[in-house]
Amino acid sequence: MIQVFVTGGTFDKQYNYITGELYFEGTHLKEMFDRGRCSLDIDVKTLMMVDSLEMTEEDRGIIVHNCSRCKLDKILITHGTDRMVETARELAEAKIPKTIVLTGAMIPYAFGTSSDGFFNLGNSLAFVQLLPHGVYIAMNGGWFNWDKVRKNRSTGLFEAI
């Protein structure tokens, strides 16, 4: 079984076509798992719906606490891309003996086929099953050790450092 923790980020944002604003209404994960015909045993729990630029230390503490208390040793976290590395650092510093993979999207799933969220989610499910205990970031078709990755703000891609 895989534990999925939802924390918000672009992944789950909706678009208001009248005001042009992005906002949170709820997670798209159940729909995404259904569309992808996912047959894995997955438990989805929403911890928060926060843009990672607005994520606080208290929010990160909630994520670390839930990962520590989780009975499962395979955890996937959907997260905003702007502060994903910072949350991964705190999870790594907590030395939780589990495989924890953080993923996100640059374009909301609600935007349809232009979103990278569906692709990143599928890859992350594979990586969380295959990687040894540790903290990883899965974006753009690859996985990275938490301390050897950065978001390239010019290209919008995650890259090894």
Least confident of 4-8, 20-24, 102-106: 20-24
Q: What is the mean pLDDT of the chain?
A: 88
Q: Of residues 23 and 14, which shows the higher confidence score?
A: 14
Alpha carbon dihedral 39, 45, 51, 56, in 10-degree steps, equals -140
Share of the chain above pLDDT 70, in %: 88
User: Which residue has better confidence, 156 or 98?
Assistant: 98
Show the domains of the chain with their CATH numbers.
2-160 (3.40.50.1170)
Report, as an integer, the average pLDDT of 47-73.
93
pLDDT band for 23, please (50, 70, 90 cuts): low
Model confidence band, residue 96 (pLDDT cutoffs 50, 70, 90) = very high
Q: What is the mean pLDDT of residues 107-118?
A: 64
What's the confidence (pLDDT) of residue 42? Answer: 95
Structure tokens at 74: 């395979």
Contacting residues for 10 by C-beta, under 8 A, at least 6 apart: 22, 51, 80, 81, 104, 105, 106, 107, 108, 117
Separation of alpha carbons 14 and 100, rounded Å:
26
The whole-angstrom distance between residue 104's C-alpha and the CA centroid of its chain comes to: 4
Residue 111 has pLDDT above 90, yes or no: no
38-47, 88-97, 100-109, 150-159: least confidently modelled range? 100-109
